[in-house]
Each structure stands twice: as C-alpha cells, then as structure tokens.
C-alpha cells in the first residue's frame, strides 16, 4: 500500500465529481485559476507498520479541500461547492486501492469561510483510514 495510491484515489474521486477545476499538491496550474476553483493538500497522515521490516498496515490521515470563490458575492456559492465535496466523501465510503482499501471515517468537516484578499475560502477536511489487505 503506497502513499501515492492513497492520494491518487482520493484526488480521483474529487476530480470526477466536481464541476469546477482544481489545483493539486505541488502541481502548478496550467493557467491562472478562474474562480471558483478548489485546492487540495494532504496536511497530515500517521502510518503504522506491522513489523520491524516496515510493512505498512494502516494509514490514518486527512485530505483538505479549499473552495475558493470571489469575495463579496455571498457565501452560498462556496457553501454549495463545499456541500458537493462532502457528498462525494460520505462516512463509511470505501475506495479500493492497490494493496488495500480507504475508508472515510466520518462526515466531511466543512469549516467556516474566511476572506483572503479578493477571495472567499471555505475549507473542508476529509478524514480517512487506509488498511492493507
């Protein structure tokens, strides 16, 4: 079970379900991103092994999705996109990956929006556990 497989499965689910473009970790956008768009990062993950040999058995982590819309246009648009992200990752969703399975552990956490210069941003945190099969 590889970290890249976990991240790819989560990003693929998001990319196939969203009606707006997004940016991925450490990948420069092809052009300037027109709002609305989303940004993805993987801020934390804990990995657990089974033996001194380092066999990965479990990874628990988070994927953060930031919805970005134009500021001063109301919060409904951003919240609607945030809800769409949440619906893509319902609690108990299982995603197969090479060598294991990802399970979404709880409903996506839609956090409060905030202004960032000319943007309005709404973060969503998706908690997952990947288990070796």
Whether the pLDDT of residue 18 is over 80: the answer is yes
Q: For the chain, what percent of residues have pLDDT higher than 90? A: 76
pLDDT in tens, 95-115: 999 989 999 999 999 999 999
How confident is the model at residue 53, as a pLDDT? 61
Q: Where are the domains of the chain?
A: 3-132
Q: Is the dihedral of CA 1, 87, 29, 113 positive or negative?
A: negative
Q: How far apart are CA 35 and CA 20, in angstroms?
A: 9
Would you say domain 3-132 falls under CATH 3.30.465.10? no
Using one digit for the tens of pLDDT, what is the confidence trace for 23-51?
999 888 766 778 999 999 999 999 888 76
pTM strictly above 0.75: yes
Burial class (CB in 10 A: 0-12, 13-18, 19+), 42: middle
């Amino acid at each position: 079970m590889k970290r890249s497989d976990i991240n790819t499965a989560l990003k693929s689910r998001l990319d196939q379900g969203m009606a707006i473009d997004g940016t991925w970790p450490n990948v420069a956008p092809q052009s300037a991103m027109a709002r609305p768009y989303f940004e993805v990062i993987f801020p934390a993950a804990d990995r657990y092994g089974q033996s001194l040999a380092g066999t990965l058995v479990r990874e628990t982590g988070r994927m953060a999705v930031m919805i970005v819309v134009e500021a001063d246009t109301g919060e409904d648009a951003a919240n609607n996109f945030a809800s769409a992200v949440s619906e893509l990752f319902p609690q108990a969703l299982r995603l197969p990956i090479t060598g294991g399975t990802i399970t979404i552990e709880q409903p996506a956490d839609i956090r409060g929006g905030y202004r960032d210069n000319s943007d309005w941003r709404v973060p969503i945190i998706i908690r997952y556990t990947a288990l070796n099969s």
